[in-house]
A = this chain, B = another copy of it.
Amino acid sequence: MNKKPTIRDVAKYAKVSPATVSYVLNGVNKVSEDTKTRVLEAIETLNYYPDFTAVSLSKKKSNIIGIMLPITEDSPAVFKNNLYYNEFVSGVEMVARNHKFDTMITGVSSPEEARLWVKKRNLDGVIFLGKFPQNLFAEMTKLDIPIVLIDTYEEYTSFFQNVKIDDEYGGYLAGKHLIELGHKNIAFVSTSLELSPVDSKRFTGFKKALQQAGVKLKSEFIYEALDISFEKGIQLGEQILTESKPITGIVVVSDILAIGMIKAFQENKKLVPEHYSVVGFDDLSISKYMTPSLTTVRQDIFQKGKSAAELLIHSFEAPDAEQHTIELPVQLVVRGSTRRI
């Protein structure tokens, strides 16, 4: 196996200096057409390609985009319970690849760890996906690379790039849908209104829909799951069943929770949508195939990933551009889990 050629080999072959080769490689407009073609030929025949680690060291840029995901001691796996993170990552990876960037993913459990990771690897930019503690973002302001936050409404939002969806409108759509179907006693299920700004936005929209229609919101119809998982959904469903409040419609901030709840209902012989109309949020790829198929507020998570990567790459090219936030649309998808009453 003959050694991988270096820039020097190319230089020698093309009878120029390594610097010149570097210039043509980087498109620095300083080299004559003549020698350029000569260098290109040398590169071709020697099968040369630059060593990224060397480039990284020299340029102090890695051509790597990092995706950070939160992990904790009791949940040390990055995609745990997050059925849809893969779509997001796909989006990032795709646009990154199209721009010659590589994608690195890692779970982080502390702000220091996160900062060190960026520094050690000379990451060009990083995307934060998921819920992180405030102080993580504080720590990140120490970094001088572009950072994009996903679905964040925190204090530090304005320091970074953002991509999110129109959560409030999503909540509004869900509420309005049930109201239009004649529901008056509508429950709202979030993870936590206080801890999750996203949920709180959706709740705001939801309230707006009720208000607009003159439907009263009952505080005892508000539930918090504190967590997203099928199991939590089941628990919540069971809780609602035992309480037997006069609820007819339920808006849930996550398809995963909604699916769990519906399962709980079905196991207890309460049918959806006959007994409860439920509308989820996200429109996971599976939601359409549930029985009943899930009425839900759709967001395009793949697009979210693409937008995040695009924002990042755009920041590389225009480092001094101001902070941007992209807001992706949401859309109500009416299917089988809701009905007119």
Contact = CB atoms under 8 A, between A and B. Distances in A.
Interface string A280-291: 000001101111
Nearest to A229: B285
Nearest to A104: B104
A87 interface: yes
Contacts of A263: 289, 291
Which of A50, A79, A285 neighbours the largest number of chain B CB atoms within 10 Å of its CB?
Answer: A79
Number of copies: 2
A156 to B, nearest CB: 17
B85 A121 contact: no
A105 B25 CA distance: 25
A41 interface: no
A134 interface: no
A53 B230 contact: no
Interface residues of A, number: 54
Given A49-B120, A260-B289, 14 more contacts: A1-B144, A51-B57, A51-B120, A51-B122, A57-B57, A86-B86, A89-B89, A102-B106, A102-B117, A230-B285, A230-B288, A266-B291, A286-B286, A290-B290
Interface in A98-147: 102-107, 116-117, 119-122, 142, 144
A144 B3 CA distance: 12
